[in-house]
């Protein structure tokens, strides 16, 4: 006896259609989950790559900063070496100032005591040589500049009396080394529990 399907054909068609829809829905859902998982993986990889690149950039920036600092230090060392070389060349042709101070000590006598002795080399604009070079070296060679400079000797100390100070100034003039010897200040002060005359003298060398 043959089987007879009593289910209407329309219902069977609708059932088969629903079955196919369920299958496609499952496939699309799985595909969507795969896309989401892939997107999340790519995003994680991108974040990791960005972090790696940022880390490399930071390391590179630190290395550049360190190299720049080392370069500045090398330039400073080179500038210092240049100053030392120029100074050595320049002072090679300068007078032997030790002989000056030896002769100066012989002219103090018994009534003069020096508290300060300063030898200065001045430029044409009355600036002490070296003060303007704290930031940069001069363009011209130091030896050439020193030829145009003048030297001054500044002395400060105490004399037993005003007369002894005046005689000391005369002895300095008598050396023949100075173009001018000028008593810039003098006043009475107590020195070693005794009254004395504090003085300052400025001497300008000949040829300056």
Q: Tell me the pLDDT tens digit for each residue of 113-168.
A: 999 988 887 777 777 765 555 544 555 565 566 666 778 899 999 999 999 999 99
Across-strand partners of 116? Answer: 156
Q: What local confidence, expressed as pLDDT, does residue 133 receive?
A: 54
Provide the residue range defining the domain that includes 194: 97-205
Provide the pLDDT confidence category of residue 21 given band limits of 50, 70 and 90. confident
Please compute, for residue 135, the number of CA atoms within 13 A of its CA located in the half-sphere on the CB side: 1
Q: What local confidence, expressed as pLDDT, does residue 3 receive?
A: 53
Same domain, yes or no, for 119 and 173?
A: yes
Q: Is residue 123 part of a domain?
A: yes
Q: Tell me the mean pLDDT in the region 44-54.
A: 73
When computed from its CA atoms, the radius of gyration of the chain, rounded to whole angstroms, is 47
Regarding pTM above 0.85, the answer is no
Last residue of a domain, one of 68, 84, 116: 68
Q: Tell me the mean pLDDT in the region 98-102.
A: 79
Q: Which of 189, 186, 181, 183 is nearest to 205 (CA)?
A: 181
DSSP state, residue 174: T
Same domain, yes or no, for 43 and 127?
A: no
Same domain, yes or no, for 60 and 119?
A: no
Distance CA 36, CA 30 (A): 10
Tell me which of 198 and 96 has the higher pLDDT.
198
Q: Is residue 75 part of a domain?
A: no
Same domain, yes or no, for 63 and 124?
A: no
Distance CA 152, CA 137 (A): 23
Q: What local confidence, expressed as pLDDT, does residue 19 receive?
A: 79
Q: Tell me the mean pLDDT in the region 77-103.
A: 71
Q: How many domains does the chain have?
A: 2
Same domain, yes or no, for 63 and 114?
A: no
Residue 76 has pLDDT above 60, yes or no: yes
Same domain, yes or no, for 38 and 136?
A: no
Q: Check which CATH number belongs to the domain holding 161 and give it.
A: 3.30.980
Q: Tell me the mean pLDDT in the region 17-36.
A: 78
Same domain, yes or no, for 56 and 109?
A: no
């Amino acid at each position: 006896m043959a089987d007879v399907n009593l289910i209407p054909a329309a219902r069977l068609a609708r059932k088969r259609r629903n079955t196919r829809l369920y299958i496609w829905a499952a496939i699309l859902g799985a595909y969507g989950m795969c896309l989401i998982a892939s997107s999340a993986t790519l995003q994680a990889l991108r974040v990791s790559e960005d972090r790696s690149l940022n880390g490399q950039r930071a390391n590179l920036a630190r290395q550049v900063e360190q190299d720049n600092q080392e370069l500045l230090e090398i330039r400073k060392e080179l500038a210092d070496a240049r100053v030392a070389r120029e100074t050595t060349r320049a002072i090679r042709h300068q007078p032997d100032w030790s002989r000056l101070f030896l002769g100066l000590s012989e002219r103090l006598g018994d009534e003069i005591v020096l508290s300060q002795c300063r030898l200065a080399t001045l430029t044409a604009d009355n600036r002490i040589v070296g003060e303007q070079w704290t930031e940069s070296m001069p363009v011209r060679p130091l030896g050439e500049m020193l030829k145009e400079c003048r030297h001054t000797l500044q002395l400060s100390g105490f004399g037993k009396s005003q007369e002894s100070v005046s005689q000391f100034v005369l002895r300095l003039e008598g050396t023949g080394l100075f173009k001018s010897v000028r008593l810039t200040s003098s006043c009475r002060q107590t020195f070693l529990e005794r009254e004395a005359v504090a003085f300052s003298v400025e001497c300008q060398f000949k040829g300056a």
